[in-house]
């Protein structure tokens, strides 16, 4: 039975090339990987499936088997990107699972070491990346869907770049948050995460949801669909069709 504690950074970095390791750990820290399902294989190994945001707007999909081989643990990670095998997307997914996996008692020190090693593997940081909330109407009812988008402010004009979708699962970890998650975002995320952890879209419902929605608007980083030029405001000038109008 393979346990999360067995998957050290040293092991993972040996299972891929150095470029995939560097960029994959960076992708993990950016919250690009979204864990879909975790299954136990009959031989005690693990099957992880999910998606990871690459350079395209739509994410790549991964199917990763981690099994006990004769010479040690083996990573067999397939990906829909052009590299296709044990690529940076696979690395980001394994790190995300490792971060979310429950740890056994007394394992905090090991986890600290692991995080330190990971930080050392990282090269640069984009600290102008910012979390945006993209709102859309839910087709079925009068509820609101929220997508988390990581974008940068445009340099030449007002507004934001198209950015990329951020996964809810990578932001749900209690001990690690990407840099773009600010103090106010923690509060919003804790109000809305709940059962949406494995989905890329958050559904706003109930009193907590509506409080979260107000806080998103107050942050000045809530937008209607992909209209990034104008943030939603409490006395709203929102577009027709937006429930805040």
Shortest Å distance, C-beta 60 to Zn ion: 5
Enumerate residues 119-158 that contact Zn ion by CB under 5 A.
Answer: none
Q: Closest Cα to residue 93, out of 191, 149, 15, 145?
A: 15
Contact 173, 99 (CB under 8 A): yes
The smaller minimum CB distance to Zn ion, of residues 79 and 231, is found at 79
Q: How many CB atoms lie within 10 A of CB 63?
A: 16
The answer to the question of residue 93 lying near Zn ion (CB under 5 A) is: no
Give the sign of the dihedral formed by CA 166, CA 170, CA 130, CA 218.
Answer: positive
The answer to the question of residue 91 lying near Zn ion (CB under 5 A) is: no
Q: Give me the count of residues in the chain.
A: 245
Residue range at the interface with Zn ion (CB under 5 A); choices 71-79, 155-163, 187-195, 224-232: 71-79
Buried (b) or exposed (e) across 186-216, using 16+ Cβ within 10 A? Answer: eebbebbeeebbbebebbbeeeebeebbebb
The answer to the question of residue 81 lying near Zn ion (CB under 5 A) is: yes
Residue range at the interface with Zn ion (CB under 5 A); choices 19-27, 79-87, 136-144, 223-231: 79-87
The answer to the question of residue 87 lying near Zn ion (CB under 5 A) is: yes
The answer to the question of residue 89 lying near Zn ion (CB under 5 A) is: yes
The smaller minimum CB distance to Zn ion, of residues 29 and 228, is found at 29
The answer to the question of residue 188 lying near Zn ion (CB under 5 A) is: no
Which residues make up the interface to Zn ion (CB under 5 A)? Answer: 60, 79, 81, 87, 89
């Amino acid at each position: 039975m393979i346990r999360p504690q067995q998957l050290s950074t040293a092991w993972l970095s040996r299972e891929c090339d150095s470029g995939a390791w560097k960029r994959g750990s960076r992708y993990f820290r950016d919250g690009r990987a979204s864990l879909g399902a975790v299954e136990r294989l009959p031989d005690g190994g693990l099957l992880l499936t999910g998606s990871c945001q690459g350079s395209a707007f739509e994410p790549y999909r991964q199917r990763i088997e981690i099994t006990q081989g004769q010479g040690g643990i083996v990573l067999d990670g397939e990906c829909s990107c052009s590299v296709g095998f044990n690529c940076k997307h696979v690395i980001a997914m394994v790190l995300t699972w490792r971060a979310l996996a429950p740890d056994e008692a007394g394992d905090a020190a090991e986890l600290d070491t692991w995080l330190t090693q990971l930080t050392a593997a990282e090269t640069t940081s984009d600290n102008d990346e910012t979390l945006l909330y993209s709102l859309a109407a839910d087709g079925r009812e009068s509820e609101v869907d929220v997508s988390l988008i990581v974008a940068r402010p445009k340099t030449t004009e007002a507004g934001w770049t198209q950015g990329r979708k951020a996964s809810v699962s990578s932001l749900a970890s209690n001990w690690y948050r990407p840099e773009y998650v600010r103090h106010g975002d923690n509060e919003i995320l804790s109000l809305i995460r709940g059962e949406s952890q494995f989905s890329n879209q958050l559904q706003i419902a109930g009193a907590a949801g509506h409080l979260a929605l107000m806080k998103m608007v107050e942050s000045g980083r809530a937008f209607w669909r992909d209209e990034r030029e104008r943030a939603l405001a409490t006395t709203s000038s929102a577009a027709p069709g937006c429930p805040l109008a």
